[in-house]
Amino acid sequence: KAGVTQTPRYLIKTRGQQVTLSCSPISGHRSVSWYQQTPGQGLQFLFEYFSETQRNKGNFPGRFSGRQFSNSRSEMNVSTLELGDSALYLCASSRGTTSGGTDTQYFGPGTRLTVL
């Protein structure tokens, strides 16, 4: 079974631009969560999408948004980029339900975004 894939793996943008990151979950998984990883703040939850609807949201400004398509693939968008948005953005997929136990999240390799 293929794992979680994220594209692109690396991005360089300048302040003020916007960026879209993509995540394809494991086949059969309906939940996609996004996390930001920085040296200063560590791993922080951005949001979760399940069946094309945002189900949970972290404490990030409205410049960070996402969506999920009917095939469960998800995109994350950051508008008006700031230097502090430089980070590794990780996507995780899971079944999305807790029937049968933990709804374990499996992570992709991440997209490293550098804002200049």
Nearer of residues 3 and 84 to other proteins, judged by Cβ: 3
Report CA dihedral (55, 57, 61, 67) to the nearest 10 degrees.
-30
Number of H helices, E strands in the chain: 0, 11
Interactions with other proteins, residue window 11-50 (CB under 8 A):
31, 33, 35, 42-43, 45, 48, 50
Hey, what's the torsion of the CAs at 69, 2, 36, 74, to 10 degrees?
A: 0
Pick between residue 79 and residue 112 the one whose CB is nearest to other proteins: 112
Scanning residues 53 to 72, which ones bind other proteins (CB under 8 A)?
A: 55-56, 58
- The SS3 assignment for 83 reads helix
User: Binding residues for other proteins, per CB under 8 A?
Assistant: 4, 6, 31, 33, 35, 42-43, 45, 48, 50, 55-56, 58, 90, 92, 94, 96, 101-110
